[in-house]
Chains A and B, each alone.
Chain A
Amino acid sequence: DSGVTQTPKHLITATGQRVTLRCSPRSGDLSVYWYQQSLDQGLQFLIQYYNGEERAKGNILERFSAQQFPDLHSELNLSSLELGNSALYFCASSPMRTTPTNTEAFFGQGTRLTVV
């Protein structure tokens, strides 16, 4: 158990809909990362938050957004969903933003999103 909790584990929704994925980081971790894993694109970094503020952006669509709340949990919002957005979405957390020894990220078990 990594200590990172993601809910829900599975989600099935229709095209055009909006969903919210939730992540609770390990206790004390300030950084939260979101990744997308799909068969064609592999594992891709989407976005990082550090202590409530956006820290880095990767290949995240404009239809997708995220936020990190004062209690440090994070939510990834996916809207106007398309079939191609079906994927496994991982959240990871790490203690600090820049300390080299703390760049290890701990991953949750993911949310499998199926768009039908």
Chain B
Amino acid sequence: AQSVTQLDSQVPVFEEAPVELRCNYSSSVSVYLFWYVQYPNQGLQLLLKYLSGSTLVKGINGFEAEFNKSQTSFHLRKPSVHISDTAEYFCAVSKGSQGNLIFGKGTKLSVKP
């Protein structure tokens, strides 16, 4: 069975500082990996996805993530955060033949001025 672990439930950071949100997954088969963002009182919006190819994936809003197969990780990074990045971030996996997503518990990113 697949599972996703987001190691930090909350990450406080100052504006313009770099941030890394950690995600580890477990699966016995190849998976596709996603990061979604949820702003307060909103639905989930896709930040980026890894399907195959280059292990460094760039997404929207300046975010990027690196797929590391040996460490089964897919950490999300941003070199300089803004107040507007304050939100909850979800890492998710899906198997290639199925579209449904298995989500981590989420990481609340709080950007302070």
Contacts and interface: CB of A to CB of B under 8 A. Distances in A.
Interface of A: 2, 4, 31, 33, 35, 42-45, 48, 55-56, 58, 90, 92, 94, 97-98, 100-101, 103-110
A43 B43 CA distance: 12
B101 A105 contact: yes
Interface of B: 32, 34, 36, 41-46, 49, 51-52, 90, 94, 96-106
Nearest to A103: B99
B96 A98 contact: yes
B43 A107 contact: yes
A98 B101 contact: no
Contacts of A98: 96-99
A101 B51 contact: yes
B94 A103 contact: yes
A24 to B, nearest CB: 14
A45 B51 contact: no
Contact of A104 (B49, B96, B100, B105): B49
Given A42-B105, A103-B32, A90 B44 contact: yes
A33 B32 contact: no
B44 A94 contact: no
A98 B49 CA distance: 16
Contacts of A35: 101, 103
Given A97-B99, A100-B32, A103-B32, 12 more contacts: A4-B43, A33-B100, A35-B103, A42-B103, A43-B101, A55-B98, A58-B100, A98-B98, A100-B52, A100-B96, A107-B36, A108-B43
